[in-house]
């Protein structure tokens, strides 16, 4: 048991006397931010004061008297309005360190209530090149899977590929009309990707041509409304205020609509400026419908389209697998949407039979409380939809894998889809399984809008990895000009990929974040680069002292705290286990990043103030070396759980 669990379990006994809902109160026991207030703080006296009608300080005093923490705490104080400050015993800390030192798991216990957790992550729509948006799901999902596994849960990772959607209609159509046979023979993936983009351009062009007049009309209406609102004179204060507000709102709408029109205009101009492209667009005026038709044919079992799909899919998979290899991620299962195709009809039938869904305008809909629009599971034309596949997927994951929890690591824009999906699944009977949308924000460029290339295209993931690696290589060369080129390259790879992953993981996942190579590769600050260099530095200390980690672990001595900073490092090291528990509460890997950053900073202070070579006594030197070893292992293990490699030497 870690310190926090130990403290909570003792408090639980005392709180059970007072309330039958101790959980929220126990959650108020936290590590302190400032060592002045001890190591942990319990703030539960304040809410209890209301409940019991007693001053919080008295309640705090009663709790202190009732809680038996003599085995682990040196001191328990009541401070301020009723904070309970707990200070751990040095002997308890050194005892825990001595246990962690020889332990492979650094003293982190596995859970005593393991669950079967399915992590649905990455899940790109194949046949389109992977882009910057895919990095978030991939790295957050992988980290959550690693941490669950490390804590003893049964984890099943599943890449729910979009391998059955319109994008295949697009490449089938593209292949039929535009393939460059030589290029396809030489590099099928590149040619398919070109075809996808080409058909996309044609489709977007026609859509823009269709939408532009409506968009202009809407703008004119807004402008008219603005003129009307601005022209009305009024002396009434309240009315003038409302008028001002209306004008501001209309101006905002006009700006947004102008952007839409400019966007559409840009799409049209791009094609019009290129004679060959324009000719192709004109010759394929029906491309949008034709693509849908090809998709419908594929789903209906059309032999030729099925053959195309069988031929194309492995190429698409090769393409994404190359990226997964570079990112060091893998999956237990890759069950794409196509896997569930045969189960969609039966799912809809069951919903109908059990009257969980009904027909509305020819479509089969699940009406759910609290939503304006129903969830459509079969369209009027008989086509099944994304939610239908997701329902079949839930059924599969529970029946085949006995999932206790399913985590969907997917863009926040799909929030509405998952809200409805989970409600529909509960209606269907899946009430005992946790279903969580682990949503995340958008990757932004410098200007605060979604990260795009200068030409306005989405940023390809492959190019991103290349750039991160080459910039990291430049840093590695600068830091170590005399190192062998192959070593420098390896460092560039580990540091570059690590930086990219960490930049993403260290953000609160719900927020958008600004992508910046310079920031992510900074040698100082909360970056993987800083942590990787810190880790290598600790290894350097052990190397310089000619001690091997094995010898340190084989002969554990007594840990000694000669001052506050060693003790602080000890507390921080022992909180590793607590932070991993914390990550899983709201599925937030950034808490582990913050922890590792804090650890590296405490270590830097320790290194500054506590000489190892000139420790003054063998005992103190050994203790300090052992703290170094624990720090390096915690950094390496923590980074590893985040999916980031660490090197002993940089
Ligand atoms: N393929 C989807 C997309 O790219 C994400 C799938 C997420 N997983 C799921 N079970 N719906 O938007």
Give the mean model confidence (pLDDT) for residues 172-181. Answer: 97
Number of Cβ within a 10 Å radius of residue 264: 22
pLDDT band at 323 (very low <50, low <70, confident <90, very high): very high
pLDDT of residue 18: 85
Residue 623 has pLDDT above 90, yes or no: yes
- DSSP-assigned letters across all residues of 590-611: HHHHHHHHHHHHHHHHHHHHS-
Give the mean model confidence (pLDDT) for residues 382-399. Answer: 96
Residue 557 has pLDDT above 80, yes or no: no
Residue 453 has pLDDT above 80, yes or no: no
153 lines ligand 1 (CB under 6 A): no
| Phi, psi dihedrals of residue 406, rounded to the nearest 5° | -130, 125
Q: Name the residue among 412, 369, 420 with its Cα closest to residue 390.
A: 420
Using most ligand atoms within 8 A of CB, pick from 132, 410, 419 the residue to mutate for ligand 1: 410
Structure tokens that stand for 487 in this block:
């070593």
Residue 519 makes CB contacts below 8 A (sequence gap 6+) with 503, 525, 527
pLDDT of residue 160: 97
pLDDT of residue 506: 97
Residue 148 has pLDDT above 80, yes or no: yes
Average pLDDT, the chain: 94
Give the mean model confidence (pLDDT) for residues 444-472. Answer: 85
Helix then strand then coil, in percent of the chain rounded to 5, is 60, 10, 30
* pLDDT tens by residue, 268-313: 999 999 999 999 999 999 999 999 999 999 999 999 999 999 999 9
Q: Which residue has the tokens 């650094």?
A: 106
| Strand, helix or coil for residue 308 | helix
39 lines ligand 1 (CB under 6 A): no
Q: Name the residue among 635, 512, 487, 624 with its Cα closest to residue 565.
A: 624
H or E element: which one contains 341? none
Domain 89-122+133-158+441-650 has CATH 1.10.730.10: yes
Alpha helices in 17-112 (DSSP H): 23-26, 45-52, 56-66, 90-100
* pLDDT tens by residue, 563-594: 999 999 999 999 999 999 999 999 999 999 99
pTM of the model: 0.91
| Strand, helix or coil for residue 387 | helix
The answer to whether 436 and 506 are in contact (CB under 8 A) is no
The answer to whether 32 and 41 are in contact (CB under 8 A) is yes
**In this prediction, what percent of the chain has a pLDDT beyond 70?**
100
Bridge partners, residue 155, by sequence: 117
Number of Cβ within a 10 Å radius of residue 162: 19
CA distance 592 to 118: 21
- DSSP-assigned letters across all residues of 105-138: TTTPPPPSS--EEEEE----BTTS--BTHHHHHH
Q: What is the C-alpha radius of gyration for the chain, rounded to an integer number of angstroms?
A: 30
CA distance 70 to 73: 5
Q: Which is more confidently placed, 26 or 455?
A: 26
Residue 203 has pLDDT above 90, yes or no: yes
* pLDDT tens by residue, 524-542: 899 999 999 999 999 999 9
Q: Which DSSP letter does residue 164 get?
A: S
What is the distance in A from the centroid of ligand 1 to the CA of 408? 8
CA distance 587 to 438: 7
* pLDDT tens by residue, 55-79: 999 999 999 999 999 999 999 999 9
Residue 234 has pLDDT above 90, yes or no: no
160 lines ligand 1 (CB under 6 A): yes
If you count them, how many residues does the chain have?
Answer: 650
Enumerate helices (H) and strands (E) in the chain, giving the number of each: 25, 13
pLDDT of residue 356: 98
CA distance 638 to 644: 9
Burial of 325 (0-12, 13-18, 19+ CB in 10 A): exposed
pLDDT band at 372 (very low <50, low <70, confident <90, very high): very high
- What CATH code is assigned to 166-310? 1.10.287
Give the mean model confidence (pLDDT) for residues 38-63. Answer: 91
pLDDT of residue 549: 82
pLDDT of residue 130: 84
Cα separations in angstroms, 169 against 262, 287, 322: 28, 10, 24
Give the residue extent of every domain in the chain.
3-88, 89-122+133-158+441-650, 166-310
What is the distance in A from the centroid of ligand 1 to the CA of 336? 9
What is the distance in A from the centroid of ligand 1 to the CA of 148? 21
Starting at the edge strand found earlier in the chain, the sheet holding 40-42 runs: 29-31, 40-42, 83-88, 73-79
Residue 47 has pLDDT above 80, yes or no: yes
CA distance 23 to 47: 13
Residue 457 has pLDDT above 80, yes or no: no
pLDDT of residue 497: 97
What is the distance in A from the centroid of ligand 1 to the CA of 409? 9
Q: Name the residue among 125, 122, 157, 153 with its Cα closest to residue 139.
A: 122
Residue 260 has pLDDT above 80, yes or no: yes
pLDDT of residue 156: 98
> Which ligand 1 atom sits closest to the C-alpha of 393?
10
What is the distance in A from the centroid of ligand 1 to the CA of 161? 7
What is the distance in A from the centroid of ligand 1 to the CA of 334? 12
- DSSP-assigned letters across all residues of 428-469: HT--SSEEEEEEE--EE-TTSSB-B-TTSPBPBHHHHHHHHH
pLDDT of residue 49: 87
pLDDT of residue 650: 86
125 lines ligand 1 (CB under 6 A): yes
162 lines ligand 1 (CB under 6 A): yes
Bridge partners, residue 282, by sequence: none
What is the distance in A from the centroid of ligand 1 to the CA of 51? 46
408 lines ligand 1 (CB under 6 A): yes
What is the distance in A from the centroid of ligand 1 to the CA of 125? 7
123 lines ligand 1 (CB under 6 A): yes
438 lines ligand 1 (CB under 6 A): no
Strands 29-31 and 40-42: antiparallel
CA distance 602 to 608: 10
pLDDT of residue 563: 92
The answer to whether 241 and 329 are in contact (CB under 8 A) is no
Q: CB-hemisphere CA count at 13 Å for 341?
A: 15
Residue owning the nearest CA to atom 4 of ligand 1: 124
Q: Provide the CATH topology of domain 3-88.
A: Gyrase A; domain 2 (3.30.1360)
Number of Cβ within a 10 Å radius of residue 201: 17
Instruction: Give yes or no on whether 3-88 and 166-310 have one common fold.
Output: no
294 lines ligand 1 (CB under 6 A): no
């Amino acid at each position: 048991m870690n310190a926090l669990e130990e403290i909570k379990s003792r408090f639980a006994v005392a709180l059970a006397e007072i309330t039958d809902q101790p959980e929220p109160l126990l959650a108020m026991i936290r590590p302190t931010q400032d060592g002045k207030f001890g190591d942990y703080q319990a703030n539960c006296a304040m809410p209890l004061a209301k409940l019991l009608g007693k001053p919080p300080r008295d309640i705090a005093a009663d709790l202190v008297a009732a809680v038996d923490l003599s085995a682990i705490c040196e001191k328990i104080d009541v401070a301020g309005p009723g904070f309970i400050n707990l200070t751990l015993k040095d002997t308890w800390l050194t005892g825990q360190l001595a246990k962690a030192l020889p332990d492979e798991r650094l003293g982190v216990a596995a859970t005593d209530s393991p669950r079967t957790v399915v992590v649905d992550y990455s899940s790109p729509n194949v046949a389109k090149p992977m882009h910057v948006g895919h990095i978030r799901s991939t790295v957050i999902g992988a980290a959550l899977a690693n941490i669950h596994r490390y804590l003893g849960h049964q984890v099943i990772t599943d890449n729910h590929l979009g391998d059955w959607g319109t994008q295949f209609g697009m490449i089938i159509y593209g292949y039929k009309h535009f393939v460059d046979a030589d290029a396809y023979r030489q590099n099928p993936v590149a040619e398919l990707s070109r075809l996808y983009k080409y058909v996309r351009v044609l489709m977007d062009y026609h859509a823009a041509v269709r939408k532009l007049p409506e968009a202009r009309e809407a703008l004119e209406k807004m402008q008219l409304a603005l003129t009307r609102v601005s022209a009305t004179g009024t002396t009434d204060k309240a009315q003038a205020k409302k008028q001002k507000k209306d004008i501001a709102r209309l101006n905002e709408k006009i700006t947004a609509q102008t952007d839409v029109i400019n966007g559409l205009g840009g799409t049209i101009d791009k094609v019009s400026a290129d004679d060959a492209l324009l000719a192709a667009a004109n010759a394929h005026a029906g491309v949008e419908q034709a693509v849908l038709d090809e998709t419908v044919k594929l789903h209906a079992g059309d032999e030729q389209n099925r053959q195309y799909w069988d031929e194309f899919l492995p190429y698409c998979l090769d393409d994404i697998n190359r990226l997964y290899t570079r990112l060091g991620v893998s999956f237990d299962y890759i069950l794409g949407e196509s896997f569930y195709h045969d189960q969609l009809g039966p799912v809809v039938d069951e919903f109908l039979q059990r009257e969980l869904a009904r027909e509305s305008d020819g479509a089969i809909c699940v009406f759910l409380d609290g939503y304006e629009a129903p969830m459509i599971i079969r369209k009027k034309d008989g086509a099944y939809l994304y939610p239908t596949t997701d329902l079949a997927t839930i059924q599969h994951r529970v029946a085949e894998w006995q999932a206790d929890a399913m985590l969907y690591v997917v863009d926040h824009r799909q929030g509405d889809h998952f809200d409805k999906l989970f409600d529909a699944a509960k209606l269907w009977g899946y009430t005992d399984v946790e279903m969580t949308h682990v949503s995340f924000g958008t990757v932004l460029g410098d200007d605060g809008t979604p990260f795009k290339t200068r030409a306005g295209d989405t940023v390809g993931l492959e190019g991103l990895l290349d750039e991160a690696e080459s910039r990291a290589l430049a840093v590695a060369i600068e830091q170590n000009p005399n190192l062998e080129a192959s070593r420098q390259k390896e460092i560039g790879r580990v540091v570059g990929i690590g930086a990219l992953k960490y930049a993403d993981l260290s953000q609160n996942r719900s927020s958008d974040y600004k992508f910046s190579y310079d920031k992510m590769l900074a040698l100082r600050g909360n970056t993987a680069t800083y942590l990787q260099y810190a880790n290598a530095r600790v290894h350097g200390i052990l190397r310089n002292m000619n001690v091997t980690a094995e010898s340190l672990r084989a002969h554990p001595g007594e840990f000694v705290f000669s001052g506050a900073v060693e003790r602080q490092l000890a507390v921080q090291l022992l909180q590793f286990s607590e932070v991993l528990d914390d990550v899983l509460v709201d599925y937030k890997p950034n808490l582990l990043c913050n922890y590792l950053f804090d650890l590296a900073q405490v270590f830097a202070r320790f290194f500054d103030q506590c000489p190892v070579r000139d420790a003054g006594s063998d005992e103190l030197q050994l203790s300090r070396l052992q703290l170094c070893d624990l720090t390096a292992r915690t950094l390496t293990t923590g980074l590893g759980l985040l999916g980031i490699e660490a090197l002993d030497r940089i």
